[in-house]
Structure 1
Amino acid sequence: MHHKNILLISNGSRYLERMRELKHALDVSILPTTSDTFSQAVSSGHDFDLVILDMQGLGKETLASVDSYVSDNGFIPTLVIQEESALSSLHLPAQGRNDFILSSAGEAEFEVRCALLLWPGEESAPSDIVTVDNMTINLATYQVYIDEQPVDLTLMEYSLLSFLATHPSRAYSRETLLHRVWGFEYCGGTRTVDVHIRRVRSKVGPQIASHIVTVRGVGYLFKL
Structure 2
Amino acid sequence: MHHKNILLVAKTSRYIERMRELKHALDVSILPTAPETFSQAISSGHDFDLVVLDSSGLEQDTINAVDSYVSDNGFIPTLVIQDESKLGSLHLPAQGRNDFITSTASEAEFEVRCALLLWPGEESAPADIVTVDNMTINLATYQVYIDEKPVDLTLMEYSLLSFLATHPSRAYSRETLLHRVWGFEYCGGTRTVDVHIRRVRSKVGPQVASHIVTVRGVGYLFKI
Q: TM-score range by the shorter chain?
A: 0.5 to 0.7
User: 1:81 aligns to what?
Assistant: 81
AA partner of residue 197 (structure 1) = G
**Letter of the aligned partner of 2:209 in structure 1?**
R
Deviation at 1:23, TM superposition (A): 1.1
Residue deviations 1:40-65 (CA, integer Å, cap 9, x gap): 11000000011000000110111111
Closer, same or farther in 2 for the Cα pair 1:205/1:55, shift >3 Å? same
Bigger-Rg structure (1/2): 2
- Measured in 2, the distance between the counterparts of 1:31 and 1:15 equals 12
1:28 alignment partner in structure 2: 28
Find the counterpart in structure 2 of residue 6 from structure 1: 6
Does residue 108 of structure 2 align to residue 100 of structure 1?
Answer: no
Shift of 1:81: 0.3
- Aligned equivalents of 2:92, 2:142: Cα separation in 1: 41
Q: Secondary structure of the residue that 1:122 maps to in structure 2?
A: coil
1:90 aligned to 2:90?
Answer: yes
Summarize the Cα distance change of 1:128–1:120 in structure 2 as closer, same or farther, 3 Å threshold: closer
Look up the equivalent residue of 2:134 and give its one-letter code: S
Aligned residues: 167
Which residues in structure 2 correspond to 1:61-140 (within 5 Å)?
Answer: 61-122=61-122, 125=125, 127=127
- For residues 114-158 of structure 1, give each alpha carbon's deviation from its aligned partner in whole angstroms, at most 9, with x where no partner exists: 11111112256354896xxxxxxxx5xx6xxxxxxxxxxxxxxx1
Residue 159 in structure 1 maps to residue 134 in structure 2? yes
Aligned partners of 2:9, 2:129: CA distance in 1, in Å? 32
Local SS of the residue matching 2:51:
strand
Counterparts of 1:51 and 1:111, CA distance in 2: 14
Cα deviations by residue, 1:157-197 (Å, 9 ceiling, x for unpaired): x122xx25858966x7xxx744448xxxxxxxxxxxx8981
CA contact (8 A) 2:98 2:117 kept: yes
Q: Report the Cα distance in structure 2 between the residues aligned to 1:95 and 1:169, rounded to whole angstroms.
A: 33
State the SS of the aligned residue for 2:30.
Answer: strand
Q: Is residue 204 from structure 1 mapped to residue 212 from structure 2 by the alignment?
A: yes
Distance in 1 (CA, whole Å) between partners of 2:148 and 2:113 is 24
Deviation at 1:26, TM superposition (A): 1.3
Q: Unaligned stretches of 5+ in structure 1?
A: 131-138, 143-157, 182-193, 212-224
TM-score by length of 1: 0.64
1:37 counterpart SS class: helix
What is the TM-score with the length of structure 2 in the denominator?
A: 0.64
Q: State the one-letter code of the partner of 1:36.
A: E
What does residue 199 of structure 2 align with? Answer: none
What runs of 5+ residues in structure 2 fail to find an aligned partner?
A: 151-201
Let me know the Cα RMSD of the aligned residues: 3.1
